[in-house]
Structure formats: C-alpha cells, structure tokens
Amino acid sequence: MGFVAAIFLISLVSCKQKESGSKALNTENTFTTDQLKDKIKGGWAGQTIGVVYGAPVEFKYQGSIIPDYQNIPWREGYVKYWWDKKPGLFDDIYTDLNFVEVFEKYGLKVSTDTIAHHWASTPYHLAHANQASRYNILSGIMPPQSGNWKNNPHADDLDFQIEADFIGLMSPGMVNSATEIANRVGHIMNSGDGYYGGVFVSALYSQAFVSNNANELVEQAIKVIPEGTKFHDCIADVIKWHKQNPNDWQATWFELQKKWNNDVGCPKGVFLSFDIDAKINSAYVAIGLLYGKGDFTKSIDIATRCGQDADCNPATVGGVLGVMLGYSKIPAFWLKPLQEIEPLDFEGTTMSLAKAYDMSFRHATEMIKLAGGTVDSNEIVIPYAKPVAVAFEQNFEKTFPIFRDRFDKSFAEELSYDFVGNGYIFYGNLVKNSKIDKNYIDRISKRVGSEVFGLAEPDDPYVAELEVYIDGKLDEKVKMPMKNTSRRLEPAWKYQLTEGNHNVTLKWINPKPEYEIRINDIMIYSEKSPVSNLPK
C-alpha cells in the first residue's frame, strides 16, 4: 500500500476513534484510573511521534508550505532509525522530561530558583532561548530576568512552547493549575510572546483531557493569554480565518504569512526566512488542530506542512491529540514504531517514555488532590475552574529592526562599530580561528552536531573576556566560554538606547592566538517602525 493511501486509510480509522472519559469543559469531570493513564500516555506518545514525523523537513521549508506531493515518510523501525541517527532530534522530549524529573525530585511546589539551578546543570546541548537562559543562570542572572528580553534576545523564541507539554499532562482539566506551573517554569528561558507560547501549549494539553472538539479546545486555550498581546491577536486571527475558510488550511496559512511572519528578536531570523518566533509557530499548531478536526493523522500532517519548526509543531499537535484520543486509540500505524524506544533512556538523561508515563500520572493525581479533586483506586474526579488569563507582558516594545548588516568579520583584539538607532545585537561567537584543520571540524561536528554555531568545543576550558563600550563608556564586562554547555550565544546587544548616533566597541581582554571572535551579522533597531517612515 502506498504512503498516501495508508494515510487516507488511517485517517478514516482515526476519525472514528474519539472516545473519551470526559464530560465537558465547564463541569466537574470523572475518569477511571485507566482512562486517565491512557490519556497521559497518549500525550507523551503523540508528542514523540510528531517529532519524528517532522524530522526530515525540520526548517527545510522556511516561509513556504510543504506541498502535498512532497512525501514525508513513516514506516516500521522509523523512530529507532532517528533515535540512532540523531539523538538531538528528541530535544522536545528530553527537555520536557528534565522538568518532570525536577518535580519528581523536589515535589510539586518546587521553587523557580530550584528548577533554574537544575536546568542550568543539564549536560546536553541547548540552543536559542534555552541556552541563553542557561548562560544567564550560570552567570548569576536568575528568573525572571534570565528569560527577560533585555537579557535574552531569544525571549520570543519558541523554546518554552516546545517543552511545556509536561505541564498540561500533570494538570488534567485544570487549566489554571497549568498556568501557575507555567509561570514558575516559563520565565526561566522566555518572556512575553515566548512565555505565552508555553502557556498556550500547556492549556491545550490540560483542556484536551476534557474536550473532544478541536475548535472548542483552541478557543478555550487562548483565554489564558491576555487580550491585546500580539500572541493573543495572532491566534485569534487564525481562529477567525478558519471560520472564514473552514476547509482550506492553506488560505489561513497565507493570511498568517502576510501578517505575522516577522521575527524581531532572534538574530538568526531577523529579516530572513528563518522564523522561530513563538507566535507564528503556535499559530501553525492551531492550524493543525483546527483543520485536522480531531483526526490524529490529518492534524499532525497539516501542522508539519506549515513549515518552519516542522518537527516541534506536529509534536505539540500529536501530543494534544494523543491526550484527546488516548494512547489506546492512536492508530497502530503510528504507534508500533514508537514502542521500540519506549523503555530506552534519552541521550544525556536517565529518563525514558516508560518512566514519563508513570511519573506524569503520579504528578497528575497529586495535582488533582491539591486542587480539591478526589482520587481513589477506581475513580478520579477533577474539579472545574474557569480559565483565567495570565499577566500581560510584551517584549521588544519600541524596538523595531531596521537594518541587517552582513558584517562577516573576525577580530582578535578590538572591534568598533557606528550605527544610528536605539539598539543593536552582534550575531556571532567565539570560535577556533580560521587555521583550524578539517579534522577538528569533523571531530566537533560528530560530538555536538554540525549545526552547533561556532563549533563550540564541549570540554574546552577557555573563557574569552570582553569589555563592551557604548559611546565611550563601559557598559558591561562579558565572559564567553568556549565550552558548549556554558557558551554565550551572542557577544553583545543593547536595546532601548536613546534614539540617535551611537558607537559600540568590543575590547578582548585576554585574547589567544588559536581563537577568534566571529561576527556574522549586526542588527540595528529603532524606536520607530521602518514601515512608518515610508512615503505616503
């Protein structure tokens, strides 16, 4: 049977498999123990399936739809294939499991600082907002400042969005309990729209325990995001466009692309096609859920074909649908390849899916009792609470990117740069200098992945020390470790300066001949949008 035919057949089957132990979103809900376990297990399984399904197209389609004729494979042994080939693909899962482990070790009331210290000690490779927050915490900048956009240029990135699944799984049907945990965890690595991405995902998972209607699910989950924020406006647009074009997800995708495809913070994406912003990637999740109509196969396929972070977004959709359907109702076509790796520990952890199933169920029952519900050997009663929006926060206010200078230069002692605006960020890193040989590159690529920017050495102890001067005055002293898990992603940035002419100078205090600091690009910001300056 061909893949397209198999997908169609599985879709027909999964459309009929929407049984649930739930009642409704606005009532007390009762489950058997087995039903609740099945839904939690389905959430973890669906998330992992989505990650692997999107693996071959992750960031291969930036700003474009993956067309229907583009085959996305799935077959027996496929999950184990990626498990062996690219362990880092499963970062959505093992970063999630990091937090499950924290709550298991320290209890449900664990403090943000304790979570942050545990997070900073993780041994595996991190990127974007995650690594920026780890650097901040190791440097003594604790939450919420570790995730604040002025200390973390990646604050609007989707990092918390892709690791918030565990929160909804331990807060079944209790969306306000989920957002309380999200507040403790999400400000470690994100703020503003990046934080809201995780809040939204945790709400989707939580509500999926007590809803069988994808439209209702998305419309209820967005209630936890404050109105008037860009994130809320973006998801509300998707809901509106879906109502206007209920059978054409691509029409909604194009409207989304026209209005919301603008990454402001992440220096890898500003003015480029790469977009890891939480708003648009959460919108792709919403598209998958709304147009998939509760069908597991159709939903993850649509979320994948929206492009950009095309493994993380179907992972979220798969996890949410896994909760809604339950593990036992995920089609065997998807489930059988997953079962091969369920007992195995993820790289760099002592956690497996099998352990996650048990831990999340235990945490969920404890959360239910804390919220006033009841748990006995045969019946679990979950109390209802009306969704309440979290606090309002918005990043990059009066901070609009106006220019990307493709600088592409290295320096070994001092770099001076003039600009006009109210902010800047240097996109680059500490690297082995240009005389390093191919053997070094091959060795590091194999150990930490060829995608690691700057070829950061996992065990190199060298730490570059810089002084950053703005308009002739010392603004900060910066340490740039070469060690991969300790690295600083960008050498220097500053936002919301007085609008006007500025100079920034980097002075390398302890240079070594075998290293150089590479600046690929420099982004300049202004308090005024460049669009507002166009002639009428």
472: three-class secondary structure by DSSP: coil
| Eight-state DSSP code of residue 498 | P
DSSP 11: H
**DSSP symbol at 277:** B
Q: State the amino acid at position 84 in one-letter form.
A: D
Q: Which amino acid is at 531?
A: V
Is residue 134 within a helix (H) or strand (E), and if so which, with residue range? helix 128-138
The answer to whether residues 323 and 205 touch, using CB atoms and an 8 Å cutoff, is yes
Q: Class assignment of domain 3-382?
A: mainly alpha
CA distance 500 to 526: 9
What local confidence, expressed as pLDDT, does residue 452 receive?
A: 41
Residue 119, both tokens? 């997070």
How much is the CA Rg of the chain, to the nearest whole Å?
A: 23
Distances (CA, A) of 394 to 23, 114, 230, 232: 36, 26, 8, 11
Q: What is the pLDDT of residue 361?
A: 98
Phi, psi of 474 (to 5 degrees): -65, 120
| C-alpha angle 520-526-532 in degrees, rounded to nearest 5 | 120
pLDDT of the residue at 3: 43
Q: In 3-state terms, what secondary structure has residue 153?
A: coil
Distance between CA atoms of residues 19 and 498, nearest Å:
59
At residue 453, the pLDDT reads 39
For domain 400-531, give the fold. Answer: Jelly Rolls (2.60.120)
Name the pTM for this structure: 0.91
**Does 400-531 match 3-382 at the fold level?**
no
The tens-digit pLDDT sequence of the chain (536 residues) is 334 434 434 444 444 333 334 455 667 899 999 999 999 999 999 999 999 999 999 999 999 999 999 999 999 999 999 999 999 999 999 999 999 999 999 999 999 999 999 999 998 889 999 999 999 999 999 999 999 999 999 999 999 999 999 999 999 999 999 999 999 999 999 999 999 999 999 999 999 999 999 999 999 999 999 999 999 999 999 999 999 999 999 999 999 999 999 999 999 999 999 999 999 999 999 999 999 999 999 999 999 999 999 999 999 999 999 999 999 999 999 999 999 999 999 988 899 999 999 999 999 999 999 999 999 988 999 998 899 999 999 999 999 999 999 999 999 999 999 999 999 999 999 998 755 545 544 544 444 443 443 445 567 899 999 999 999 999 999 999 999 999 999 999 999 999 999 999 999 999 999 999 999 999 999 999 886 555 44
Cα first-last separation, the chain: 58
Query: Amino acid identity, residue 53?
Result: Y
Confidence (pLDDT) at 348:
82
Tell me if 478 sits within 8 A of 465, measured CB to CB.
Answer: yes
- Nearest by Cα to 14 from 328, 314, 341: 328
pLDDT of amino acid 27: 76
Between CA 356 and CA 40 the distance in angstroms is 9
pLDDT for res 261: 93
CA distance 359 to 29: 22
pLDDT score of 445:
47
Which amino acid, residue 465? E
For residue 10, what are the CA distances in angstroms to 14, 129, 132, 332? 6, 37, 41, 9
Query: From the CB of residue 332, how many other CB atoms can be counted at a distance below 10 Å?
Result: 10
The residue extents of the domains of the chain are 3-382, 400-531
Find where tokens 């990135």 sit: 157
**C-alpha to C-alpha distance for 152 and 265, rounded to whole angstroms:** 9
- The confidence score (pLDDT) of residue 28 equals 83
Report how far apart, in Å, the C-alpha atoms of 465 and of each of 113, 426, 517 are.
27, 16, 11
For the chain, how are helix, strand and coil distributed in percent, rounded to 5? 45, 15, 40
φ/ψ bin of 293: left (φ > 0), alpha (ψ from -120 to 50), beta (otherwise): left
The alpha helices in 386-456, defined as continuous H runs, are 438-448
